[in-house]
Amino acid sequence: MTAAPASLVWFARHELGLFWRDFVAMMTAGRPRRAAVLVVVLAIIVAVAHLMAHALIAPWAASGIAEDKPTLVMLSGGGVLFFTLMLSQAMESVTRAYYARADLDLILSSPASARRLFAVRTSAIAVTTMALAFLLAGPAINILVVESGARWLAAFGVLAALSALATGLSVLITVALFNTVGPRRTRLIAQVAAAVVGAGFIIGIQAAAIVSYGSWSRLGILQSDWLVGMAPGAESPLWLPARAAMGEAGALMAVMAVGFGILAAVVVATSSSFGRHAVAAAGVGVGQTRRVATARPFRATSVKAALRRKEWLLIRRDPWLVSQTLMQVLYLIPPALMLWLNFGQAAGAFVVVVPVIVMASGQLAGGLAWLAVSGEDAHDLIVSAPVTARTVLVAKIESVLVAVAIVAGPLIVAMGFVSLPMAAVTAAGVVLASGSATTIQLWFRAQAKRSMFRRRQTSSRAATISEAFASIMWAGTAALAAAGSPVGLLPALIAVGVLGIAFVIRPRESF
């Protein structure tokens, strides 16, 4: 069947074809064997995720899941945290749809309808947001289906509706920003907001874990009598999504109608302005007042110092990068607060804090290492300079580790006043996580522009997964070591294994 040129179906087919080719290229990188390895790795991850979900959910399901207020509170609380993640993903994607040039100039300069393109791209964003949600929540839902009945399959419908709602809200926020602050500031504000909203998910989980310290469940706060008592009655429409997830047909229909209805209404209402906003976004930077650097005399410096200074200067001057870097610091706020509140009290409570600091340091180091090692705008200049590659790498690694030390150092010092062993364990974890993340970025280094930073996760899935896994495992090691458990050796061995796998599958250098 052939679709009429520039029709909705025609655009959808074009976008789907491009997506599929990108996906295949990303998965295989031209090597079918790599795809097989990735499938095996993904299968292992999915299996581990299901095992973890089983450990968390099976005891709850075994005791019988009643449709009572505590259950509705817990499901809704978890759902709200999860929705922040979906909203963050959708906001990031919607902003990209307006600002990424790629083929937009070609399509907007053609007589084809920009409204149709917008409708297709917005739908694609909803689908990818849904795919992410299914990937993350899928294991938990599958376990619920197995342990508590097929009615839980309805939770997938709720996720789809929430994805549509998140996409619709993201479009509304972006268009509102265009109309209020203009195209020049919309991108930065939207992306920072997306990152903050996304951080809300992590911070929410952390906060719940910290407040629930002492109970084995990370979301114990959602089951507290205080919260359940404060919540509205079980008949409140607030619980519709939770009821829908539990398989109540009427609630599911209502939730899906609201989610998809809002998306459809937003697309219809805003698609006519898409072309106008996209053209305005394309004009950003043209005729812009240039920023002026402070004039100062040249400083005597070594090659390494020049390289380090350049890295720090470029990070400091890029508001987007600063916001992304600070996002990692944002994750440290709950543990920092806990340190502050419990200062001088039992050191045992800080077991919760240790993995957060280690994990955040690993993630921060990974991001900065990508910027320093791969995100080099003047790659040829650096390589053609009379400096050994080793000197350049050492200087760049130093710049990363110093930045991590500046962020994690004060927390470790503060912890040292309470418990020296705990601080030592945290420091060791930070060094191992940062070192692993930096090493992985070195193995997977590629030539890219710094502006590609937000797409670094998609440029090498293997690097991203290894980096995250290694950080998680070092965080686990540090937490268990801080708790004095000998089991801590197990995640440490897994972290070393992850590094080993990353080393084996690293791309071979072209020169």
Q: Does 110 bind another protein (CB under 8 A)?
A: no
Q: Does 30 bind another protein (CB under 8 A)?
A: no
Q: Does 388 bind another protein (CB under 8 A)?
A: yes
The residues, any chain, with a CB within 8 Å of residue 82's CB and separated by 6 or more, are 133, 136, 137, 162, 201
Q: Which stretch binds another protein (CB under 8 A): 49-57, 88-96, 294-302, 344-352?
A: 294-302
Assess contact for 481 and 456: CB atoms under 8 A: no
Pick from 314, 428, 494, 505 the residue near another protein by CB under 8 A: 314
**What single DSSP character describes residue 215?**
B
Question: In which residue are the tokens 């929430």 written?
Answer: 162
Q: Does 340 bind another protein (CB under 8 A)?
A: no
SS3 12: helix
Question: Which runs of consecutive H residues, i.e. helices, occur in 29-113?
Answer: 32-62, 69-99, 104-108
- Minimum distance from CB of 275 to another protein (Å)? 25
Binding mask 182-221 for another protein (x = CB under 8 A): ----------------------------------------
Q: How many CB atoms lie within 10 A of CB 258?
A: 17
- Minimum distance from CB of 382 to another protein (Å)? 7
Q: Does 299 bind another protein (CB under 8 A)?
A: yes
Q: Does 378 bind another protein (CB under 8 A)?
A: yes
CA dihedral 200, 90, 168, 94 (to 10 degrees): 130
Residue 448's DSSP bridge partners are 375
Question: In which residue are the tokens 């508590």 written?
Answer: 148
Q: Does 377 bind another protein (CB under 8 A)?
A: yes
Q: Does 454 bind another protein (CB under 8 A)?
A: no
- Minimum distance from CB of 379 to another protein (Å)? 7
Q: Which stretch binds another protein (CB under 8 A): 242-250, 314-322, 342-350, 422-430?
A: 314-322
Q: Does 346 bind another protein (CB under 8 A)?
A: no
In angstroms, the Cα distances linking 86 to 122, 134, 174, 462 are 14, 11, 15, 23
Q: Which stretch binds another protein (CB under 8 A): 62-70, 134-142, 380-388, 431-439?
A: 380-388
Assess contact for 72 and 243: CB atoms under 8 A: yes
Considering only CA atoms, which of 355, 490, 363, 510 is closest in space to residue 425? 355
Q: CB-wise, 151 or 310, nearer to another protein?
A: 310
Q: Does 382 bind another protein (CB under 8 A)?
A: yes
Distance CA 350, CA 322 (A): 28
Under rule CB under 8 A, how many of the chain's residues touch another protein?
A: 37
Applying CB under 8 A, the residues found at the interface with another protein are 285, 288, 290-295, 297-303, 305-307, 309-310, 313-314, 317-318, 377-388, 511
